[in-house]
Structure 1
């Protein structure tokens, strides 16, 4: 099961971008996308990261959206419902 999810996560296109406006504008969008899809890939742009890490932002986004952070890699995170 994990190998299948890892492959699916790898093949996903980014559908949510976090930019200079931060997490607030994307929390509902991530929640909505996870209602339709099991996995959603999110890109954290440099302007969103500021003094924090991708991992920290991804964990906060998961918490706020009621999602599970499946993994981070580089500046992207994959979230699971």
Structure 2
């Protein structure tokens, strides 16, 4: 897959995991389960989840918890793969 096709695929993905005020713990298992079924998962970080942290910091922390690779962050959205 070319880089252009890969970017288009990421762009066309809809978020299937939302991180809210409960933080990362409740969504870590869900992200892990989704990554077992598909190769790319888009996660949306809601305002209530961010507190004083940046989206990039939260996205990196979630990747570490799940053992996933953080492909991209843009705005308040991150894309993960195994």
TM-score calculated relative to the size of structure 2 = 0.95
- How many residues in Structure 1 have an aligned counterpart in Structure 2? 81
Tell me the residue number matched to 1:25.
26
Q: What corresponds to 1:46 in structure 2? A: 47
Segments of 5+ residues of structure 1 without an aligned counterpart are: none
Which residue number corresponds to residue 72 of structure 2?
Answer: 71
Root-mean-square deviation over aligned CA pairs: 0.7
Q: Aligned equivalents of 1:66 and 1:15: distance in 2?
A: 18
For 2:71 and 2:27, locate their aligned partners in 1 and report how far apart those are by CA, in whole Å. Answer: 17
Question: Using the alignment, how far apart are the partners of 1:6 and 1:33 within structure 2?
Answer: 20
Runs of 4+ in 1 over 3 A off after TM superposition: none
Unaligned runs of 5+ residues in structure 2 are none
TM-score (norm 1): 0.96
Secondary structure, aligned partner of 2:16: strand
The separation in 1 between residues aligned to 2:4 and 2:69, in whole angstroms, is 17
Give 1:6 deviation, angstroms: 1.1
